[in-house]
Amino acid sequence: MTKIKIGIVGGAGYTGGELLRILVNHPNADIVFVHSNSNAGNPIYKVHTDLIGSTDIIFSSELSSAIDVLFLCVGHGDAIKFLRANPIESHIKIIDLSQDFRIEKEGNDFIYGLPELQRDKIKNAKNIANPGCFATAIQLGLLPLAAEKVLTSDVHVSGITGSTGAGQSLSQTSHFSWRNNNMSVYKALNHQHLKEIRQSLKNLQSSLDKNIHFIPYRGDFTRGIIATMYTPCSWTIEEAVAKYKAYYASHPFTHVVDENIDLKQVVNTNNCLLYLEKHGDQLMIVSIIDNLLKGASGHAVQNMNLMFGLEETTGLRLKAASF
């Protein structure tokens, strides 16, 4: 069995930990190094205690070029700094989980890694910019509309994310005493993921000139995203469901369901579930994902599988922890 030799930079955070949890059980993965300056010399399971008994890998302060793919699980702005300071040999593919390369512009050779939008480009890509978590949930809710060129009015979106979406570093809004039994709005109408969402939608509907009004919330739970969108649409609910199911028919992780959904159905999986309702002329779409898996590390492994010619679902057939 062919093994993909893997390096990970930023392995001590939430996305690094989730990536390791997947890769230690991935049949085609050979983890060569996990880089962390602050944890060099420590066993991975000392930081990610859920991996006790699963691996004896030690965090390293050194990089190796004896790899096929490098995952960058670093903070926003840090990926581009890392690559400037550490030139990567040409044979190594890169999958970046930060936002540094998601927006298309001259000189950016990273392909935006949303398989439900551009699977064929990902298969032939050298470098991948992994989508953001809110961006993934919202785009998957809207792509079928853009594909049919029917996004002709403003879209209103509200979304709630778990505390892991803020990363592992402590802040005022990530302490248990603040987060527990609490909610708040942040970055209203100005969230950073709006740029990549618009970019993807315009990829399918170039004439798109309407606004996406997005209100994000901090939730009092650990992981998961639930996003609700509504916009005018002339389709009947039966037509909408049929078109959504047709769009995602060949995509193994996105499922359109006929009954209302809840977060526990996707937490611990790489799945996105979509549920539709029609209210007057408004089509409502509910989208749920695990922000650390389909919203980050699981999505990154899905992209790796495509880049290396593997079955897209390899290592990602994960069951939800629904009770």
Residues serving a catalytic function are 133
Alpha-carbon dihedral angle through residues 142, 312, 131, 301, given to the nearest 10 degrees:
150
CA distances from 51 to 73, 91, 160, 261, 278 (A): 18, 30, 28, 30, 44
DSSP state of 243: H
CA distances from 316 to 49, 170, 227, 268 (A): 21, 29, 23, 10
202-219 burial: b if 16+ Cβ within 10 Å, else e = ebbbeebeeebebebebb
* Alpha-helical segments (H) within 86-132: 115-123
CA distances from 221 to 174, 182, 226, 289 (A): 11, 9, 12, 14
